[in-house]
Structure 1
Amino acid sequence: MSDDRNLALVTGGAHGIGRGIVAHLLTQNWRVAFFDLDDTAGNEITAAFGNPADLLFVRCNVADESEVELALRRVISWGGRLDALVNNAGLADPVTGAVEDLTLAEWQKRLDVNLTGPFLMAKHAIPHLRGTRGTIINMASTRALQSEANTEAYAATKGGLVALTHALAVSLGPDVRVNCISPGWIDTREPDAGQEPEPLSARDHDQHPAGRVGQPRDVAAMVHYLISPQAEFITGQNMVVDGGMVRKMIYEE
């Protein structure tokens, strides 16, 4: 018997925010496919979170167009449809050193994964999303809006992703809605060799107007809202999920 429940595809779903999104959507009765390059973590998640009818892991490098095409075919063969694409995969370390020392290879590596990857995923997912009047969510960063020193490559990719979002929204509407989420400080630390990470300090939490550092569940909840019918009038937007930090004026005393 066919399963007509909605299906979401999450890239970079084995760790951090992506893992949180996968877990949350499963609790909301979505079927979920996720891409990652970490086979061990991907297989652990499928064993822990779901059954073969609910959850599919596919190893895929989102910066490689042939891999994207093949992986998407597998998702459609498994699930029969696609209702939401969450472009979460990315190289997360923003600091690349002084710009005069930044190599073209390091610059290009971040563009390939953080910006070209979402483009390739959207390009090949659009025919399936049109059929379901689906949605695309791109995961940017508050670093598209503000910067620390020596983060040019990362900031450029995230700024480009915000612009790609509104360009796609205009091109694909009304059939496909496209939005962007820009997380701030989200605590994505995982146990290392069985050891829990050190607790965050009161200062870490208190500097946020919301009173705490973010958790993957905060971003996952926004994803679920934006791909739901309740958000059908929202497209082309960049939703900042950062506990209010980009609105806080900070000067050294």
Structure 2
Amino acid sequence: MSYENLVVVVTGAAQGIGLGVAKAFAEKGALLVMSDVNEEQGAASAAEIRNEGGQAIFIPCDVRQEEEIKQLMKSAEEEYGKIDVLINNAGISRWKSPYELTAQEWDDIINTNVRSCFLATREAARYMKKQGGSGAVINMASTRALMSEPDTEAYAASKGAIVALTHAMAVSLGTDGIRVNCISPGWIETKQYESLKPADHEQHPAGRVGRPNDIAKACLYLADPDNTFVTGTHLVVDGGMTRKMIYEP
């Protein structure tokens, strides 16, 4: 499959998984629309892709703001004439005791992680439907939707909600030819990979901790226009970590 000239919008694209995904699509010839709340880093990341021969623009967007999401999609369509793929990657986390987590902090996480997926998908789908009823949406969930550590209630709830939102919107948008899927990354190290300990890798059946490119490959698969039978799915990309039982000796 050629990704030449596919218009791909990626939220939370300034760094980490989002940047890794953007780079992978750019290398395949896609036209990138990168957004993030961090304007300086986002602009620098888009420039990095262009310097490497890819095509990318940066549009600042705070995904907690409905009007900014609308403007992001409008600008993407005005720049390239269409939207083929939306990757809802933007998200935040906050580890805090449930006794101390405030309602405002809860709402901030839910609005950033979940509501933004709904709003961005709704707005991108308007353009996808208008251009002939084809397109792909990929939501970034997490294995935290399936398992937890202490003090992760809001983040876990947001990622579980993304999984449910994915299959709901896949059903609603399917008649318009729009596919909606989600990925749950496991441990994806985005900064200090070489400093990881052997034990970090050994707890994965795959034998290693993940890298952003592992998630990018999954996105490429789900975005492939030929995969018209793949929608509403939840793809766990975690090196088998959530399937391995770990008992204390």
Q: TM-score range by the shorter chain?
A: over 0.9
Aligned runs of 1:36-185 on 2, under 5 Å?
A: 36-50=36-50, 54-91=55-92, 93-96=93-96, 98-130=97-129, 131-132=131-132, 133-174=134-175, 175-185=177-187
Give the AA of the match of 1:75: A
C-alpha displacement of 1:225: 0.7
In the alignment, is the contact (CA less than 8 A) between 2:10 and 2:22 conserved in 1?
yes
The 2-side partners of 1:122 and 1:230 are apart by 20
State the aligned residue count. Answer: 242
The 2-side partners of 1:67 and 1:39 are apart by 13
The 2-side partners of 1:165 and 1:198 are apart by 34
Q: Deviations over 1:34-71 (max 9, x none)?
A: 11011221121222211798211000011101111112
Structure 1 residues 53 and 205: alpha-carbon distance in aligned structure 2, compared to 1, 3 A threshold: closer
| CA RMSD, 1 decimal | 1.7
Matched, 1:219 2:220: no
The 1-side partners of 2:9 and 2:80 are apart by 10
In the alignment, is the contact (CA less than 8 A) between 1:185 and 1:213 conserved in 2?
yes
C-alpha displacement of 1:235: 0.6
The aligned counterpart of 2:15 is: 15
SS of residue paired to 1:99:
coil
TM-score normalized by the length of structure 2:
0.93
Give the AA of the match of 1:108: D
The share of aligned pairs that are identical, in percent, is: 44
Structure 2: runs of 5 or more not aligned: none
In the alignment, is the contact (CA less than 8 A) between 2:27 and 2:54 conserved in 1?
no
C-alpha displacement of 1:127: 1.3
Q: Deviations over 1:77-110 (max 9, x none)?
A: 101100000000000x3512x2122110111110
The 1-side partners of 2:127 and 2:245 are apart by 43
C-alpha displacement of 1:205: 0.8
Structure 1 residues 145 and 87: alpha-carbon distance in aligned structure 2, compared to 1, 3 A threshold: same
Which of these residues, 236, 244, 249, is aligned with residue 248 of structure 1? 244
Of residues 53-62 and 135-144 in structure 1, the stretch that sits farther from structure 2 once superposed is 53-62
SS of residue paired to 1:173:
helix
Give the AA of the match of 2:109: R
Structure 1: runs of 5 or more not aligned: 191-196
C-alpha displacement of 1:198: 5.7
In the alignment, is the contact (CA less than 8 A) between 1:94 and 1:155 conserved in 2?
no
The 1-side partners of 2:66 and 2:60 are apart by 13
The aligned counterpart of 1:24 is: 24
Runs of 4+ in 1 over 4 A off after TM superposition: none
The 1-side partners of 2:202 and 2:190 are apart by 18
C-alpha displacement of 1:231: 2.2
SS of residue paired to 1:136:
strand
The 1-side partners of 2:151 and 2:78 are apart by 43
Give the AA of the match of 2:205: P
Of residues 14-23 and 39-48 in structure 1, the stretch that sits farther from structure 2 once superposed is 39-48
In the alignment, is the contact (CA less than 8 A) between 2:47 and 2:56 conserved in 1?
no
SS of residue paired to 2:137:
strand
Give the AA of the match of 1:110: I
